Amino acid sequence: ILSEKEALATEELSKRREQILAIEVVSVVEGHITAVVPYGIMVSIDGVEALIPQEEISWDEQEISQILSEFEVGQTLKAEVLSVDEELGKVQLSLKSVTADPWKELSKAYGTGDTAKGIVTKITSYGIFVNLPKTSIEGMIALSSLPEDIKLAIGGSLPVKITLIDAAKKQLDLV
């Protein structure tokens, strides 16, 4: 009986190793979410568990708990394979790698000095946050640079001028 259990365990280990060896680094794979955990997302790729660490989930800078709340167990997604550790049986994935970097998209669509009609997304005591068309990036306008009599509402349109795009610092300044 013991040797039968050992044989089954060895066979299972061998099968798992073959599945892991079939996963190629830099390939795009499809899998199903098996768990959403504080450090990332667990995904099953044809029976092999893989991890999308939190820094590889989204380009967005919002709180990781907010980002993770957008994902559900059972959801299907595509991700790029970052690494495969055959010895440990670990596979690491990236969602960011299969989506465009919004800062590169912003730099393609706009340059310093360009004007656009943005959408007000947030109003704070120090400034107005505005989302530019064709991007998912928000820029800030300091309250001191706005006329005192301006009426603003979240969701409202506001003409803006781009004064700085710094993709490295992830900074977009508007007036």
Reduce the DSSP state of residue 112 to 3 states and report it: coil
Hey, how many other C-beta atoms are within 10 angstroms of the C-beta on 172?
24
At 1 the pLDDT is 55
Rounded Cα distance, 141 and 154, in Å:
14
**31's tokens:** 């899998």
At 64 the pLDDT is 78
pTM (predicted TM-score): 0.72
DSSP state of 168: T
Asked if residues 75 and 45 have their Cβ atoms less than 8 Å apart, the reply is no
Q: Digits of tens for pLDDT over the chain (175 positions)?
A: 567 777 777 777 777 778 887 888 889 999 999 999 999 999 999 889 999 999 999 987 667 778 888 999 999 999 999 999 888 889 999 999 999 889 889 989 999 999 999 999 999 989 999 999 888 888 999 988 888 888 889 999 999 999 999 988 888 999 9
